[in-house]
Structure 1
Amino acid sequence: MIDRTRAPAFGQVEQIELIKAKPIVLDNGLKVFTVDGGDQDLIRIEFIFENIVYDASKPLQSYAANTMLNDGTKELSASEIADRIDYYGAFLQTDFSNDQSIVTLYSLNKHLPATLPVVKSIISDSIFPQVELDTFIRNQKQKLSVNLEKNDFLSRKIFNSVLFNNSLYGYDTRAEDYDRLTRIQLQEYFSQAYKPANCTVVVAGKVTDEALSLVDRLFGKNWQGGSSVTPNIFNFYTGSGKEHYIEKADALQSAIRLGNVAINRSHTDFPGMQVLNTILGGYFGSRLMANIREDKGYTYGIGSALVSMKNAGYFFIASEVGADVCTPALDEIHKEIEILKTETVSEQELDLVRNYMLGSMLGGLENAMSHADKFKNIYFSGLGYEYYQNYIQTVRTISALELQALANKYLDWNGMEKVVVGKKN
């Protein structure tokens, strides 16, 4: 009989094998990376463009251009684009981040000759129809109006603004910013950013010779224009640890977000800080969850994260707590940070976190597309696959004393920006 009063023994993950991306350079200089794996007739092709020429007087220019790419080209209307993709059971999406604008196609290989030319059309011939721009502006303003009533949205908006003021990373979007958008702005940005010199293609899934030949024909031989570009570069200051309080007298919950500008993935301390963050608030068994949710009952959830971007990284803790326990919750967060700085983590807790982190990484590598995601993390950070070897080695071997030193180096409560939206009792 199984003794269910005893937890099963666990073994530590020793090694994780990654499918490495293979590089190809097409005739026009376009960089293509392939991650081939799996038997299913499915392929994902991502066109990744660096965000460039940020202009504070036109803060939504790059975001709007990316979002509206599939709203009409010289030959296809928005509905025709959607119908052609849907007819073949494919999926087309655009994504925008602080550093990149991405167009992604998921398709069966056998339908790629019909679906991939649609992508070619939107990244080379988008025209941003005025009627679609008017709809975009109206919808975005309504969405912003609704979101501004949400405490967690407001706290995140204010936090990013005070952390990364006067840059794309932290711009405080207002309704009037949408009103200033014009077709000319979008066409201007499109002509500067959406060209081979500013694009990286990542192909993942069942990568066939026929698929690569089609990519080469459409995007290597028949996509020209544009000189090299200079990606956005931002510089940031170290925070002064101010408190930013937005009162909402009728709030039942208060949104808390606090943190500071920190290191990104290119820094040698980043893997160790990921371990430290996991202990503090990076998974369901973290100290913040155990204290503020399980013990005190102040919240349904609380977490922390270390975020890596191209020009910076940042650390944050976020939660929504009962309005009447906001100040006690902040005190408990402070206490947990100070404990990490003054006391070493037990080996039992550290072993649990090691296994959680390595198991999560291994479990996340379920197909070629997840391996491609790992590649993108390092490639766009200017790193090689040795990063993951170092990451695994750090997780497996970092000591409690090293974690304590990292806590004292990077977790400065007095230097953290602290945002509360709601009531602070």
Structure 2
Amino acid sequence: MPNRSVAPEATAVARPNLPQPKEIMLGNIPLTVVNLGLQPLVLFEIAVPVGRWEEPSPGLAFYLFKMLTEGTKSKSSEQIAEAFDFFGSHLEVIPTLDGVSIKLYTLNKFFPALLELLVEMLTESVFPEGEFNTLKQIRIEQVRQQHAKNNAFANLKFREMLFGKEHPYGLLMDVEMVEKVTYQDLLHFKNALLTAPRLFISGLVTDEEIGAIEQFFGNVAFHASQPVNNHPLETTRYLEVTREDSTQASIRLGKVMIDRTHPDIHLLKITNELLGGFFGSRLMKNIREKKGLTYGIHSSLVHLQNASYWTISSEILREKTELAHQEILKEISRLKSETPTAEEFKMVVNYMKGKFLNSFDSPFSSHEMIKGLKQAGLTEQYFYNFLDTLDTVQPENLCEMATQYFGEDDLIFLKVV
């Protein structure tokens, strides 16, 4: 019997054998295959590059793809829902700033039948006007709720400060914008459904699943995505939004940052992790544990398709926001000048190794990691470069990265109280 009173011995993380995706071209449509798992289950994803950059009116991509399940020329919305339910499958439609993900989870034996239905939804949707009006009212309530909650509103407002009010990433949706979108706008935009996507499939993938994809998607007349215009940044350095009924404040700090193709990105990720990326970070120890100003504070690097940014976020007692702001700046300054202790350094490196390996602990989590890689135009070498950096990084490298990238001169600060 193992002795439960003694912690297991820690061992060094060996270089892992990461999943090796297979790339197949279906005409001009790339298919990435992640063949993992023992159960007869697959995740099939259609990643359509139609988002804020491509839509002529704010929110049109949301309506267009959310209405895929509302009926085709031969099937009602009820029949579509019953088909997925009958096969014990699950369909998700997830609009993002950069595009829309359509995810199908199903058993292998039902995959061809559901794939045929999915293609029918893409090519023969009828967009009932009544369902559009219902969806529009739902969207209005969602936007109202986002604006009513300090933390959700702060996230949106902070992006506006980073990129500008007219920038696709900075555009802050409000109720008036939602109400302006018309049914005719939707119909004029419907051809965007057939914008050439990237396809991904993971799980127990056999030649049968790949053959079904070739059969049903090979004959779809997809068209190339439209080139997007460049949008200049219009940054706002400081903003305070006051609300009468707030009991706590949401604060955000950050700036536009280097993207995943930059040679410093892995060192910067480690530096950010030490500052505020996990529960043992310096910000958590100071702002939460020592000062008791918040339940949680977090810093992160956010990578979008056409930009990246760094942010520190927290919900703070309303009367303590200025103290929290100064303590955050103090920790950033300390990171530039104070080399991590051996224990602190070892903890963050080991934590990041473990978290990275956990990201590949199932076929579907591996799917997400590899999808992000492919959409960014990177190869699997990116992952190995990250592991190599974790093995070779020195404590003083983190001070250098903080000095170079976490300067206060262009730091943006938002306070919603």
Residue 417 of structure 1 and its aligned partner are, at CA, apart by 1.4
2:379 to 374, 378, 384: 384
Residue 345 of structure 1 and its aligned partner are, at CA, apart by 1.5
In structure 2, what is the equivalent of residue 243 of structure 1? 238
1:298 to 293, 296, 306: 293
In structure 2, what is the equivalent of residue 223 of structure 1? 220
Alpha-carbon separation, structure 2, partners of 1:325 and 1:53? 36
Corresponding residue SS for 1:255: strand
Alpha-carbon separation, structure 2, partners of 1:204 and 1:282? 29
In structure 1, what is the equivalent of residue 89 of structure 2? 90
> Which amino acid in 1 is paired with 2:244?
A
Conserved 8 A contact 2:300-2:311:
yes
1:398 to 379, 390, 393: 393
In structure 2, what is the equivalent of residue 348 of structure 1? 343
Residue 266 of structure 1 and its aligned partner are, at CA, apart by 1.4
Alpha-carbon separation, structure 2, partners of 1:412 and 1:321? 23
Alpha-carbon separation, structure 2, partners of 1:123 and 1:231? 22
The worse-fitting range, judged by mean Cα deviation, of 116-125 and 39-48 is 116-125
Matches within 5 A, 1:14-413: 14-26=14-26, 28-51=27-50, 54=53, 58-165=57-164, 166-195=166-195, 198-220=196-218, 222-226=219-223, 228-232=224-228, 234-237=230-233, 239=235, 242-413=237-408
Corresponding residue SS for 1:171: coil
> Which amino acid in 2 is paired with 1:325?
K
Conserved 8 A contact 2:269-2:301:
yes
Indicate how the Cα distance of structure 1 residues 225 and 376 shifts in structure 2: closer, same or farther if over 3 A, else same: closer
Corresponding residue SS for 1:314: strand
Indicate how the Cα distance of structure 1 residues 276 and 282 shifts in structure 2: closer, same or farther if over 3 A, else same: same
Indicate how the Cα distance of structure 1 residues 46 and 225 shifts in structure 2: closer, same or farther if over 3 A, else same: closer
Residue 275 of structure 1 and its aligned partner are, at CA, apart by 0.4
Alpha-carbon separation, structure 2, partners of 1:358 and 1:187? 48
The worse-fitting range, judged by mean Cα deviation, of 323-332 and 370-379 is 370-379
Conserved 8 A contact 2:253-2:312:
yes
Corresponding residue SS for 2:331: helix
> Which amino acid in 2 is paired with 1:224?
A
Residue 53 of structure 1 and its aligned partner are, at CA, apart by 8.2
Alpha-carbon separation, structure 2, partners of 1:7 and 1:402? 31
Can you list the C-alpha shifts for 1:137-173, whole angstroms capped at 9, x where unaligned?
A: 1111112222222111121121011112222211110
Conserved 8 A contact 2:52-2:169:
no
Alpha-carbon separation, structure 1, partners of 2:414 and 2:346? 33
Corresponding residue SS for 2:127: coil
Corresponding residue SS for 1:344: coil
Corresponding residue SS for 1:340: helix
Residue 236 of structure 1 and its aligned partner are, at CA, apart by 4.6
**Structure 1: unaligned runs, 5 residues or longer:** none
> Which amino acid in 2 is paired with 1:283?
F
Indicate how the Cα distance of structure 1 residues 203 and 360 shifts in structure 2: closer, same or farther if over 3 A, else same: same
Equivalent residue pairs, number? 415
Corresponding residue SS for 2:181: coil
Corresponding residue SS for 2:118: helix
Alpha-carbon separation, structure 2, partners of 1:286 and 1:341? 15
Residue 239 of structure 1 and its aligned partner are, at CA, apart by 4.2
> Which amino acid in 2 is paired with 1:274?
K
Conserved 8 A contact 1:54-1:232:
yes
% identical aligned pairs: 30
Residue 14 of structure 1 and its aligned partner are, at CA, apart by 2.5
Conserved 8 A contact 1:167-1:234:
no
Corresponding residue SS for 1:303: strand
Corresponding residue SS for 1:299: coil
Conserved 8 A contact 1:50-1:231:
no
Conserved 8 A contact 1:288-1:333:
yes
Can you list the C-alpha shifts for 1:107-154, whole angstroms capped at 9, x where unaligned?
A: 001111332222112222222211111001111111222222211112
Residue 233 of structure 1 and its aligned partner are, at CA, apart by 5.1
Indicate how the Cα distance of structure 1 residues 404 and 261 shifts in structure 2: closer, same or farther if over 3 A, else same: same
Corresponding residue SS for 1:168: coil
